[in-house]
A and B are shown apart, each in its own frame.
Chain A
Amino acid sequence: MLIDWFTVAAQVVNFLILMWLLKRFLYQPVLDAIDAREERLVKQMQAAQDAQSAAAAERNKYERLNTELAQQQAGLLAQATAEVEATRLQLLEAARNETANLRSQWQDALLKEQQNLTQGIANRTRQEVFAITRKTLADLADTGLEARMVAVFISRLQTLGMAEKVQLSPPAGQTDCQVLIRSAFLLPPNEQKALGQAVRNLLPIQPTIHFELEPDLLSGIELISNGHKLEWSIAEYLAALEASIGELIRTALNPSPQPLSLKGRGAEENDPPVPPRPLRERGLGGEGVFDHV
């Protein structure tokens, strides 16, 4: 018989034993090792994903910080640019104001210096003119300048118009009249006496006459009565002279370029300004000025 039942039973037992052996030493250890490795891989994958997520979060954080930093930098740069521009404009305005002040001060100083120079030239000119005149009169006419001036002034008083006489006279009913005669030079007694007599002849009442020495009168004579002043000096000439000298100085200090003109003599707009008339052209004759005080 092909089947031995004892062998069958023994093989069944053998199979069951082999099954237990393989389960104990093969299947279970191998499956446990696989499970442990899979668990470890899962943990490592999870850790890697966590690290990747953390890295992504860090990257996003630093990108956001970089963006904010760039914005802050741009803002600060714009603010600094605006502040620099404002400061520049402020400094420019201050420099402009400073320049204007300096220019104004310089112009004032220049004007003052010009005035001083003009005044000095006028004074020197006056002194020279009077010295020349005085010497010329003394040498050629045997007379003094002051005497001639007093004589001429008396002559002018005698030829005053009626209206001027009324203005110099005190109001009707007033018994007192103060007359002040100021001169740039000390009047000799004879001239004072002659001048006083001329004034008394001019006024209807007997005035009280005072003589004063006033060097600023430019060798002239002033008569002040009833609030009116009658001046007889060369101040007008000297003023013209000062104006001419001042214009000359201004022209020398501020030369205005004259463009070349191809026009003929008819181009009047390009003609140079007419210089002030020289003193000698006006003559040496005195000129009376009647003014209210």
Chain B
Amino acid sequence: MHLSSDDLVFWEYGWVKLNLTIITTWLLMVVMGGGSWLLTRKLSNAIHIPRWQHVLEVVVLGIKSQIEEVGLAQSRRYLPFIGTLFLFVVVANLAAIIPGYEPPTGSLSTSTALAICVFIAVPLFGIREIGVLGYLKSYLHPTPVMLPFNIVSEISRTLALAIRLFGNIMSGGMIIAILLTITPFFFPVVMHALHLLTGMVQAYIFSILATVYIAAATRGEGA
């Protein structure tokens, strides 16, 4: 039993290797990118639109409204980053309903990669909004004494993002696998449903925390 999908390596050359995490991620990218391309080829701007277009609009506008509710007025600027975080985690977690599927988010490498993206994106968006000095001043907020704490907080929250997502998804998969060996019929189904719900919640938590961090950075309020 693999603790992480990183351990299942299909091809390896030196330090370059193709493991299950990367392959699954590529498959998800193909499905999400190709599906988006197929669905948005014939978008209608008429009064009456197809139902699938309604679904797409509900998803996009829902993410956009969540960003605005957190406090980011220029929601279109942050929609690709935060929306992709949410949709990738959601699709990766919900795909767990497919038998034999190993979610890439259950890999600490993937969650770390997403956390690093957030860790890099937050100062970038902050500097873009309020400038370098303005962003650096946010580490002195509310007093310069808080500088080391803010730095530690910046690092720790990134670790927390990575560990939280990894822990929840990995533990869910582990519990289902263990239950399948103990009580193979009823309880694994319930736990699987609970795992899907946990995956949705974790996607929401991950993206909303990233949004909060970006919002704090763009306002100069520090970490």
Could you tell me which A residues sit within 8 Å of B by CB distance? 2-12, 14-23, 25-27, 29-34, 36-37, 40-41, 44
Q: Contacting B32 at CB < 8 Å: which of A7, A21, A40?
A: A21
Q: Does B49 make an interface contact (CB < 8 A)? A: yes
Interface of B is mostly: helix
Could you tell me which B residues sit within 8 Å of A by CB distance? 3-4, 6, 15-17, 19, 21-22, 25-26, 28-29, 32-33, 36-37, 39-40, 43-47, 49, 53, 56-57, 60-61, 76, 79-81, 83-85, 87-88, 104, 107-110, 112-114, 116-117, 166
Q: Which B residues are in CB contact (< 8 Å) with A8?
A: 109-110, 112-113, 116
Q: Which chain A residue lies CB-closest to B40?
A: A29
Q: Which B residues are in CB contact (< 8 Å) with A36?
A: 45
Question: Smallest distance from the beta carbon of A195 to chain B beta carbons, Å?
Answer: 140
Question: How many angstroms between the C-alpha atoms of A26 and B80 in the bound complex?
Answer: 9
Q: Which chain B residue lies CB-closest to A22?
A: B84
Q: A6-B16, A18-B32 are in contact. Are A12 and B116 (CB under 8 A)?
A: yes
A6-B17 in contact (CB<8A): yes
Q: Which chain A residue lies CB-closest to B19?
A: A7
Question: How many angstroms between the C-alpha atoms of A16 and B29 in the bound complex?
Answer: 11
Q: Which A residues are in CB contact (< 8 Å) with B37?
A: 25
Q: Contacting B104 at CB < 8 Å: which of A11, A25, A33?
A: A11
Q: Which A residues are in CB contact (< 8 Å) with B44?
A: 33
Question: Smallest distance from the beta carbon of A18 to chain B beta carbons, Å?
Answer: 5
B87-A22 in contact (CB<8A): yes
Question: How many angstroms between the C-alpha atoms of A26 and B37 in the bound complex?
Answer: 7
B32-A22 in contact (CB<8A): yes
Question: Smallest distance from the beta carbon of A38 to chain B beta carbons, Å?
Answer: 9
Question: How many angstroms between the C-alpha atoms of A22 and B45 in the bound complex?
Answer: 20
Q: Which B residues are in CB contact (< 8 Å) with A20?
A: 80
Q: Which A residues are in CB contact (< 8 Å) with B26?
A: 14
Question: How many angstroms between the C-alpha atoms of A22 and B28 in the bound complex?
Answer: 12
A37-B22 in contact (CB<8A): no
Q: Contacting A15 at CB < 8 Å: which of B33, B107, B114?
A: B114
A17-B29 in contact (CB<8A): yes
A11-B45 in contact (CB<8A): no
Q: A14-B26, A34-B61, A37-B45 are in contact. Are A7 and B6 (CB under 8 A)?
A: yes
Question: Smallest distance from the beta carbon of A15 to chain B beta carbons, Å?
Answer: 6
Q: A11-B22, A11-B104 are in contact. Are A26 and B29 (CB under 8 A)?
A: no
Question: How many angstroms between the C-alpha atoms of A8 and B114 in the bound complex?
Answer: 9
Q: A3-B112, A21-B29, A33-B43 are in contact. List 10 more A-B contacts (CB 8 A).
A: A11-B21, A14-B22, A15-B88, A19-B81, A20-B80, A25-B40, A27-B79, A27-B80, A30-B53, A34-B57
